[in-house]
Amino acid sequence: MSTNVPAQHHDTAVGDRGRDPGFTRVPPNDLDAEQSVIGSLLLSGSNKASPSYRYFAEILETGIAAGEYYRPAHQTIHRAVCELHEAGEPVDVITVADALSRRGELSLVGGAGYLHTCVQAVPTAANGPHYAEIVRAKAYRRTVIESAQRIIDYAYSEIGDEGEVRDQVERQLTGIVAGIPGLHEAPPAVGDLYLGYIADLEDIQTGKHVGLTYGFADLDAITSGMHPANVTVIAAASGIGKSTLALNAAVAAAKTGATVMFSSLEMSATELMQKITAAEGKIALHHLTHQGGLTPDGWETVKRLGTELFRSLPLRVYRPDGAALHDIASAARACARDGGLALLVVDYLQLVEVEQSRNITREQAVAAVSRGLKNLSVDLDCHVIALSQLNDDGLMRESRAIKNDASTVIKVERPDADDKESARAGEVDLVIEKNRFGPTARVTVAAQLHYSRFVDMAHT
User: Which pTM value belongs to this model?
Assistant: 0.63
Query: CA 434, 440, 446, 450: dihedral to nearest 10 degrees?
Result: 10
For residue 37, pLDDT beyond 90: yes
CA-closest candidate to residue 180, choices 379, 384, 11 = 379
Position 180 scores a pLDDT of 52
**231-236 and 408-413 strand pairing:** parallel
Q: Where in the chain is the domain with CATH 1.10.860.10?
A: 21-176
CATH number of 211-459: 3.40.50.300
Sign of CA dihedral 57, 61, 65, 70: negative
Q: Cα 88 from chain centroid? A: 32
Runs of H (alpha helix) within 15-71: 31-44, 53-61
Classify domain 21-176 at the CATH topology level. DNAb Helicase; Chain A (1.10.860)
Burial class (CB in 10 A: 0-12, 13-18, 19+), 157: exposed
**H helices, E strands: number in the chain:** 16, 9
Position 186 scores a pLDDT of 61
Would you say 347 and 340 are in contact if contact means Cβ atoms under 8 Å apart? no
CA-closest candidate to residue 314, choices 339, 281, 277 = 339
Position 394 scores a pLDDT of 56
pLDDT bucket at 390, cuts 50 / 70 / 90 = confident
Predicted confidence (pLDDT) per residue in 287-297, tens digit: 988 888 888 99
CA-derived radius of gyration, the chain:
28
Phi, psi of 191 (to 5 degrees): -60, -35
CA-closest candidate to residue 431, choices 444, 419, 422 = 444
Amino acid found at 160: G
Would you say 440 and 434 are in contact if contact means Cβ atoms under 8 Å apart? yes
CA-closest candidate to residue 170, choices 304, 328, 306 = 328
Coil vs helix vs strand at 409: strand
CB atoms within 10 A of CB 24: 12
For residue 212, pLDDT beyond 50: yes
Predicted confidence (pLDDT) per residue in 54-94, tens digit: 889 889 888 899 999 999 999 999 999 988 888 888 899 99
